[in-house]
A = this chain, B = another copy of it.
């Protein structure tokens, strides 16, 4: 058996797949979250779904709590007491409903990875999920978040009492108290994954990545999800994104190449250190990442040489989308010389691959190590190119693929992204330095808009 193409026995024909994380056609996985309330399960689930979606893998979270809320919108802690038979029946019914919808999603919507977001806190419950999945030929990967750090738990309780629909409109202090009691009720029956369950494929995340236990990983997709989970951290940080300063090619309307920055681009490069300082707000140490192309290195050079002395890395993976035979042409020239290509790209900009070059989808694949490094890192400023920046931005802001290649990302603008528990905060800082617009709307061959 080969990891990526887990061919079920008896499949009649061999298949061809262009490689991406999505060549997992025959693999379907339920990631079963396990853990007490306030252990960051929903946050982890949300990050995994976003990461997989970005890699073109159909992924979706099924949150048992929201099924339960259909019948019991605002239960008190007693509802979660195991001696409360009514509560238990209703909670089981909610799990049933979630699993049923999930299986339907695999069957009718081409789902690849579902996340079953619930406490799944007993061996019996986990076994039950496994049986339901096995019966449908779907793999299970259990992800237990185990955390005894009072600080992390408290941070999660604060988050829940202010954001959970279970407590909407309630007094925050009462909500926090009730939530603590709910946790205690779960603690009474909670069983961590142990030796008895060594036939399961599982990952135990202890204190968010301090220790990770990985058991019986079966295939490529599982190993990717696990590697992603291994690299997560929850220390606060921000990521800054900037395009290079206006380039000579931007002025002439040519794409690709390795041009120098223009005089106005130079002004932006000189303005960047102050722009960054004012957006940071404290004296955090940043690291600068650029591509290997002149225009990003030139743009970052004053920041690199500034008194702060930020370290710098040049990544080939941050180079602009390779436009192959169209490199150095204007959009008008492309429309004239390669009219079919020009149209094909407009029709499906995410998947269109320039002859001898790349598609946005290709760029996402080569950016995957960058995203993994960003997950491991703290404060990073990335000076890169329009298409690459769109892809990184799409990851953090959850922008759908069909939209991200059409996003407007103006020159001479610094974007600051700050990941929060359930979303990413965005701020834009515009340098007051004019530049051409390199945004091109569908069908247009205009040099500048």
Q: How far is the CB of A205 from chain B (nearest CB, A)?
A: 10
Interface residues on A, range: 35 or more
Q: Is the CB of A5 within 8 A of B292?
A: no
Choose from B198, B214, B285, B365 the contact partner of A230 (Cβ within 8 Å).
B214
The 8 A CB mask of A362-403 against B (1 = contact, 0 = none) is 100110000001001111100000000000000000000000
Would B14 and A304 count as touching, CB distance under 8 A?
yes
Whether B5 contacts A220 by the Cβ 8 Å rule is no
- In whole angstroms, how far apart are the Cα atoms of A17 and B292 in the complex? 10
Query: CB within 8 A of A227: which of B1, B15, B227?
Result: B227
With contact pairs A230-B223, A376-B223 given, residues A5 and B311 touching in the complex (Cβ less than 8 Å): yes
In Å, the complex CA distance between A29 and B215 comes to: 26
**Are B211 and A213 interface neighbours, CB within 8 A?**
yes
B327 and A2 form a contact (CB under 8 A): no
Known: A19-B315, A316-B19, A376-B3. A216 touches B220 (CB 8 A): no
* CA–CA, A322 and B362, complex, Å: 15
Q: Is A4 interfacial (CB 8 A cutoff)?
A: yes
- Nearest CB on B from A352, distance (A): 14
8 A Cβ contacts from A3-54 to B:
3-5, 7, 13-19, 23
| Complex contact A309–B13 (CB within 8 A) | yes
Q: Which residue of the partner chain, among B214, B231, B311, B376, contacts A211 with CB atoms under 8 Å?
A: B214
Distance between A396 CB and nearest chain B CB, rounded to angstroms? 18
B residues in contact with A19, CB < 8 Å: 313-317
Cβ of A55 within 8 Å of any chain B Cβ, yes or no, is no
**Are the CB atoms of A214 and B213 closer together than 8 Å?**
yes
Select A314's contact among B16, B304, B316, beta carbons within 8 Å: B16
CB distance from A229 to the nearest CB of B (A): 11
Q: Which residues of B contact A311 (CB under 8 A)?
A: 2, 5, 7, 14-16
A117-B374 Cα distance, complex, nearest whole Å: 33
Q: Are A230 and B258 in contact (CB under 8 A)?
A: no
Chain B nearest CB, measured from A295 CB (Å): 13
Per-residue interface assignment for chain A, residues 208 to 245, with 1 indicating a CB less than 8 Å from any chain B CB and 0 otherwise = 01111111110010010011001100000000000000
Partner of A2, one of B4, B217, B287, B315: B287
Q: Which residues of B contact A211 (CB under 8 A)?
A: 198, 213-216
**Which of B217, B312, B356 meets A327, CB within 8 Å?**
B356
Write the A94-129 contact mask toward B (1 if CB under 8 angstroms, else 0).
Answer: 000000000000000000000000000000000000
Cα A362 to Cα B322 in complex, Å, equals 15
**Residues of B with C-beta under 8 A to A210:** 215-216
Q: Is A310 an interface residue (CB 8 A)?
A: yes
In contact, A3 and B356 (Cβ under 8 angstroms): no
A220 to B223, CA, bound (A): 18
Q: How far is the CA of A116 from the CA of B260 in the complex (A)?
A: 48
Can you list 16 contacts pairing A with B, beta carbon distance less than 8 Å?
A: A2-B285, A4-B313, A5-B287, A14-B311, A15-B312, A16-B311, A16-B313, A19-B315, A19-B317, A209-B217, A211-B213, A211-B215, A212-B213, A213-B213, A217-B230, A316-B362
